[in-house]
């Protein structure tokens, strides 16, 4: 296995600095590189943060407000020590003002911890000191969020804060009576309706533990195992490196929850191999971006937004996972078929088998690394997500000990604890900042007002409402992390869809999907730009290609929002099988229409028939499915006849030339 692995790695001609690329495209990776005593102190703080969350997950969490406050205290400390004021600041030291920021964070969180009972007793009647502490806490949350994920979410939060004060001066539906500073601070700082609301609550429990679970999986070497297995299975086939990239990136994206980080880390390996077999740089970068992006909607782990969805909707997480399976697989089916059709058009070969890992040997050496992923699904059926994550971490530790080459050493254990805490900072900061928005929406009743506004603007019709919600999701998703975008729209746009009859789980998955797809939607397609940076391609053209590859993702949410059979809601096993099979055929038709190729280059009328067949087949309805099958059969028959004729002519050509 090791020799085969080396042969692949040796074939990667371009060396990519992963850390530099991550810092360039992903704000959450732009952290200080501190050495010496201070560097060690930060490591110890991160490890202690992980140990705190492990302990509370295993032996019981604190009271909600206290659990979230301790979580935010760690975020303030690590956030201001790790993230510089500006991207180009000196990353080798911590300036004096960041120590002040950090001290302020400790102060406002310790104030709640030490005076919790007094704050509860005078709930709704804050003192001047309460108001002062609350204002400082709000400002610090905005600043730590700006540093860790960028300015977009804090700017939106500031607009919402301004809306509270401007309410009496706004005419029409959006106007309100206005609120005092004391009322606003009480809502955002002293209750579980603002900064310490549901988003931070989920971050301090489920989300942190699953991020830590991912860190432990990475330490065991599961990432390299996914890559090796993917290349062993598909690398030798037509356009093999691209297909392997789709498979590997899908698995990795589900664990990491970050499309940009996945694009850079996996793409550093897969993109050079795609270019080696003949894929153009723009297409190679696009394949990795589209595949990595879909990981956030792929069970069993998905991303942080899925856990928050469970809390917002009161739907068990395992139910969300079950409903998300088919749409996610359809998305990946669309990507891999488009990759295959592109390879067929260019007649791209795979990597010779002798340069690839042996599948049986690779799987035999690493199959035990899949057990934690299997166990997390089993645990989610019986336990809460928090308990499931805790137990799965224990399984990951135990499983790693089964083989010498995957065994976690004490040093590796500390690295995983440190890595998990550092990765959680940006997610937690986004959740705290999003809590400000949610708190203001709750205080002013803006959510219901906005939902009514969308419905009125769409004339009370479902499809226009879905379209407007899609646009809002994509626009917000371009500037915000998926988690923050989901929280904003879950409080404002999802109620409009539910009011028009869309099942609540379908409504929330709808906005999640389009927020995820924003990472490959120009003009701000961050995952695609990261892929272009590694491939040496044009950023905008790579974005267009990634959008093309992931275009099935624009179709699927509309289908499950209007007819939720694809979410396996209220369907019999037979109905589910029929819906899945016809949807898969529809994806084949859709990919053929988009790529303009099936067995050979399509003519315009064939392309149109493929497209309409796709629309009909993906929609779960018996009569429409029959029409779709007929429409699909016609261009397939035409393509087969023409391809057979072209093949015969090609075979006979040397004979004619010799005559």
- The answer to whether 529 and 259 are in contact (CB under 8 A) is no
pLDDT for res 245: 85
Q: What is the DSSP string of 428-497?
A: HHHHHHHHHHHHHHHHHTHHHHHHHHHHHHTTT-HHHHHHHHHHHHHHHHHHS-HHHHHHHHHHHTHHHH
CA distance 369 to 412: 16
DSSP labels, 165-186? HHGGG--GGG------HHHHHH
Q: What is the C-alpha separation between 197 and 185, in angstroms, rounded?
A: 14
Q: What is residue 520's three-state secondary structure?
A: helix
What pLDDT shows up at residue 659?
A: 46
pLDDT of residue 3: 45
Q: What is the pLDDT of residue 22?
A: 60
Check residue 25 and give its pLDDT: 63
| Domain residue ranges of the chain, discontinuous segments joined by + | 12-163, 571-659
Q: pLDDT value at position 256?
A: 66
* Structure tokens, 299: 């069970």
- CA distance between the termini of the chain: 51
- 615 Cβ contact partners less than 8 Å away, ≥ 6 residues apart: 555, 586, 628
- Distances in Å between the Cα of 273 and the Cα atoms of 7, 243, 285 are 12, 11, 11
Taking the chain (659 residues) in runs of 10, the rounded mean pLDDT of each run is 46 50 63 89 96 94 94 97 87 91 97 92 86 96 93 92 90 85 93 92 91 88 84 84 85 73 80 84 89 84 82 89 90 90 85 83 86 88 89 91 84 92 92 93 86 84 88 79 85 87 91 85 80 85 89 86 84 85 90 90 91 84 85 91 81 55
Burial of 36 (0-12, 13-18, 19+ CB in 10 A): exposed
Per-residue model confidence (pLDDT) at position 608: 92
- The DSSP line for 13-40 is -----HHHHHHHH-GGG------HHHHH
Q: What is the pLDDT of residue 657?
A: 47
**Residues 6 or more apart whose Cβ sits within 8 Å of residue 506:** 323, 497, 560, 561, 564, 567, 569
The whole-number pLDDT of residue 89 equals: 79
């Amino acid at each position: 296995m090791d020799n085969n692995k080396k042969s692949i790695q040796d074939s990667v001609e371009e060396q990519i600095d992963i850390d530099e690329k991550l810092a360039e495209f992903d704000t959450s990776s732009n952290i200080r590189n501190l050495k010496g005593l201070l560097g060690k102190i930060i490591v110890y703080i991160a490890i202690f943060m992980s140990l705190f969350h492990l302990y509370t997950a295993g032996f019981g969490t604190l009271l909600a407000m206290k659990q979230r406050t301790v979580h935010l205290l760690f975020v303030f400390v690590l956030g201001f020590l790790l993230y510089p004021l500006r991207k180009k600041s000196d990353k080798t030291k911590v300036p004096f003002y960041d120590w002040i920021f950090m001290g302020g964070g400790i102060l406002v969180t310790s104030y709640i911890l030490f005076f919790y009972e007094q704050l509860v007793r005078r709930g709704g009647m804050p003192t001047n000191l309460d108001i002062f502490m609350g204002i400082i806490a709000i400002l610090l949350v905005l600043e730590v969020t700006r540093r860790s994920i960028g300015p977009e979410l804090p700017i939106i939060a500031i607009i919402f804060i301004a809306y509270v004060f401007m309410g009496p001066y706004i005419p029409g539906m959006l106007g309100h009576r206005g609120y005092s500073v004391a009322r606003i601070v009480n809502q955002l700082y002293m209750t579980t309706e603002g900064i310490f609301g549901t988003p931070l609550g989920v971050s301090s429990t489920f989300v942190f533990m699953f991020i830590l679970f991912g860190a432990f999986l990475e330490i065991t070497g599961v990432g390299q195992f996914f890559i090796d297995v993917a290349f062993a299975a598909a690398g030798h086939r037509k356009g093999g490196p691209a297909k392997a990239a789709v498979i590997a990136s899908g698995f990795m994206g589900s664990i990491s929850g970050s499309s940009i980080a996945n694009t850079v880390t996996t793409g550093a390996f897969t993109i050079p191999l795609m270019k080696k077999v003949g894929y153009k740089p723009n297409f190679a970068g696009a394949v990795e971006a589209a595949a990595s992006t879909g990981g956030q909607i792929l069970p069993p782990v998905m991303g942080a937004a899925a856990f928050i969805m469970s809390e917002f909707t009161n739907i068990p997480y395992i139910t969300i996972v079950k409903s998300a399976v088919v749409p996610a697989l359809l998305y990946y089916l669309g990507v891999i078929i488009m990759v295959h059709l592109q390879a067929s058009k260019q007649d791209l070969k795979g990597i010779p088998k002798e340069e690839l890992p042996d599948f049986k040997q690779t799987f035999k050496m690493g199959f035990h690394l899949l057990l934690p992923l299997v166990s997390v699904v089993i645990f989610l059926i019986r336990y809460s997500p928090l308990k499931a994550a805790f137990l799965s971490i224990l399984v990951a530790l135990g499983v790693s000990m089964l083989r010498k080459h995957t065994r976690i050493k004490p040093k590796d254990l500390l690295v995983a604890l440190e890595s998990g805490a550092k990765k959680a900072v940006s997610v937690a900061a986004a959740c705290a900042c999003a809590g400000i928005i949610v708190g203001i929406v709750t205080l002013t009743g803006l959510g219901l007002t906005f939902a009514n506004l969308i419905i009125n603007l769409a004339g009370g019709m479902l499809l226009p409402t879905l379209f407007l919600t899609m646009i809002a999701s994509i626009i917000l998703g371009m500037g915000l992390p998926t988690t923050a975008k989901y929280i904003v729209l879950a409080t404002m746009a999802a109620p409009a869809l539910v009011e028009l009859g869309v099942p609540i789980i379908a409504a929330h998955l709808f906005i999640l999907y389009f927020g995820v797809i924003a990472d490959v939607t120009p003009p701000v397609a961050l995952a695609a730009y990261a892929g272009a940076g590694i491939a040496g391609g044009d950023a905008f053209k790579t974005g267009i290609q990634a959008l093309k590859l992931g275009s099935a993702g624009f179709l699927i949410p509309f289908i499950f929002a209007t007819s939720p059979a694809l979410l396996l809601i209220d369907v019999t096993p037979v109905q589910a099988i029929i819906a899945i099979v016809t949807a898969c055929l529809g994806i084949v038709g859709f990919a053929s229409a988009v790529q303009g190729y099936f067995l050979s280059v399509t003519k315009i009328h064939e392309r149109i028939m493929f497209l309409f067949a796709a629309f009909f087949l993906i929609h779960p309805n018996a009569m429409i499915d029959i029409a779709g099958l007929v429409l699909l059969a016609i261009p397939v028959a035409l393509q087969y006849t023409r391809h057979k004729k072209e093949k015969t002519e090609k075979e006979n050509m040397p004979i004619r030339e010799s005559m």
